[in-house]
Amino acid sequence: MHPIRIEEAAKVITECEAISARALADLPQLLDYCAPWMTTDRKPHAFFHKGRDYRQEVDKAVGRFDFDLVIHRSVVEPDSVVLEIANLSRKNQ
């Protein structure tokens, strides 16, 4: 565990095995935060809990990133999901 803000984390934490977040930001912003780790050779997976409007966030993220996505139904909240994201790369803009 690292008690630091996500914006500063990439300067302190050079690699990780997995990334997770809940109620932090929309998906495109989360992918921006996670890109320093997810675009390395180790390619960790990220897990983000999202509510019923997750499709809109995925659609926005697809405009800026390429990634593999697995959608897991939440066992905690019936209208929510956990997005598992891997192989993240930024699209050329």
pTM, two decimal places: 0.85
Pairing of strands 65-73, 81-90: antiparallel
In Å, how far from its chain's centre is CA 21? 8
What percent of the chain shows pLDDT beyond 90? Answer: 47
CA dist 80 and 85 (Å) reads 16
- Mean pLDDT rounded to a whole number for the chain: 88
Domains recognised in the chain with CATH numbers = 15-90 (3.40.50.150)
Q: How far apart are CA 37 and CA 48, in angstroms?
A: 15
What pLDDT is stored for residue 57 in this prediction?
Answer: 94
Q: Take residue 24 and report the two structure tokens written for it.
A: 């932090």
pLDDT digit string (tens) for 20-48?
Answer: 887 788 999 999 998 888 876 777 899 99
- pLDDT range class, residue 85, cuts 50, 70, 90: very high
